[in-house]
Chains A and B, each alone.
Chain A
Amino acid sequence: MSYVTSDQLIAKLRKEIKEIDAHELARRMQSDEDLTVIDVRELDEWSQGRIKGSVHIPRGFLELRVEALVPQRDQPIAVTCAGGTRSLLAARDLQELGYTNVVSVAGGFNGWKNAGYPFSKPQILNEDQRHRYSRHTIMPEVGEEGQLQLLGASVLLIGAGGLGSPAAIYLAAAGVGKIGIVDFDVVDTSNLQRQIVHRLEDVDKPKVESAARTIAQLNPDVKVIGHQTQLTSHNALDIISQYDVVINGSDNFPTRYLVNDACVLLGKKLVDGSIFRFEGQVTVYDTANGSPCYRCLYPDPPPPGEVPSCAEGGVLGVLPGIIGSVEAVEAIKLILGIGSPLAGRLLLYDALEAEFREVKVRKNPDCPVCGEHPTVTQLIDYEQFCGIPHTTPVNINGMGQPVLA
């Protein structure tokens, strides 16, 4: 039986497989070409450093995982390893699967690093995390990379109440690394019918403390930042700017307009939910990516007293569980960049009818904050804004030009 030595095999592959060096790889990665760079080293090597922009599939899993990553057989692929040998073997395997545009990177990661090209030392999940988040990481839409994104992400909850409670719990369980909570209130027994982040023992304690304790008991990976204050025009930009995504669970119109305007001004993604009795609404405002904002949907607030609050009208305790959970889902999708965000669509839930439906939310080109010629270019006095009839000029608290409310 004839055989070849491994040296002979490698020499043969070098003739058959096109190789490129680090310079050529850098050039192709910077070009418009849709090049996928696959690093086939083992996890411990990868965790020491990697070519920026490369994806990791250990060689042992290459054939099993590559199709999900690169569905088209003619898509260009560059395979890399530590020194350029294993990548030849991996490139051969890819050719066997029918990939027609595969190159091996001569010199591998070491050559790349020595040539002075940028590399990053990726964080990796520790053993506890790999186990804790295994139901996430097994899904290709999340994977280990996605879980690391969640761990590196920050979400601000406006209110640790009915909507904020389930959102806080699910985001913490999902491993969102930093959760900020703005709430100035203390826990009351009447909150416990729906605000599931709090416990009986927390009554009379600040809600941010109570929520932080629940989260700490659930997941030590999560850092909770409590903002035990009322969100105002003076602190909103400062607080919101520290986070990637904002979840609105406030209970009044001035705060809703304030949060909206601050998110538009800062270009932050806002997941907005509201509840009343047996009905809920939820949507995503992402004006930096062309979506409408809260003011496009609700240009004017209702006059004070026109719309009853949950304290006056009541709310089914489970209802915020549904809407707040949808808000958490949307926040996670925004962080991971997966699926279709609920932007430009208002999802309506009617618990009595057991019905979900949605209507369209169109961007208003004349919107005073996100439209083509915005007149609200800084935060205004939102109490005043919500207490006056529309089309009346108002002076805005000494903070700038009058605006039309």
Chain B
Amino acid sequence: MTTVRIPSPLRRYTNGQSKVEGSGATVRELIGNLEAQYPGIQSRLCEADGQIKRYVNVFVNEEEIRTLQGADTPVADRDEVSIIPAMAGGR
């Protein structure tokens, strides 16, 4: 299983959990499987064609997947996947 880090704005889909377990050989598969468990999360992360939204950053371990193979970036069992959204708050 792969640990997926869920940021605050998406935790309402994961019953408030900041970390969930998921499975899938690629980021795309992983998110697809997460959707089955946590309905609604996929459309917050992906475009209709399955590509990650441009304003959402997904990291496999320390690397952002745009610098790897995008949604097709392979995910191994012990990898940690982090969803990191842009946050504007400062005030």
Contacts and interface: CB of A to CB of B under 8 A. Distances in A.
Interface of A: 158-159, 161-164, 191, 195, 248-253, 256, 273-279, 281, 297-303, 306-310, 313, 315, 320, 346, 348, 350, 352-353, 358-362, 364, 390
A306 B90 contact: no
Given A313-B8, A362-B67, A275 B54 contact: no
5 contacts: A248-B90, A249-B91, A298-B57, A302-B53, A359-B82
Contacts of A358: 62
Given A300-B55, A350-B18, 19 more contacts: A159-B91, A191-B91, A249-B90, A250-B88, A250-B91, A251-B89, A274-B86, A274-B87, A274-B89, A276-B89, A279-B87, A299-B54, A299-B55, A307-B87, A310-B89, A313-B9, A359-B64, A359-B82, A362-B67
Contact of A298 (B8, B55, B90, B91): B55
B50 interface: no
Contacts of B9: 276, 307-308, 313
* Chain B interface residue number, banded: 20 to 34
B56 to A, nearest CB: 8
Looking at B8, B53, B88, the one whose CB has the most chain A CB atoms below 10 A away is B88
Contact of B90 (A159, A307, A362, A364): A159
Interface of B: 7-9, 18, 53-55, 57, 59, 62-64, 66-67, 82, 84-91
Contacts of B66: 364
The winner among A161, A191, A306, A352 for most chain B CB atoms within 10 A is A306
A221 to B, nearest CB: 26
A348 B55 contact: no
Contacts of B90: 158-159, 161-164, 248-251, 273-275, 320
Contacts of A273: 90
A163 B53 CA distance: 28
Contacts of A298: 55, 57, 86
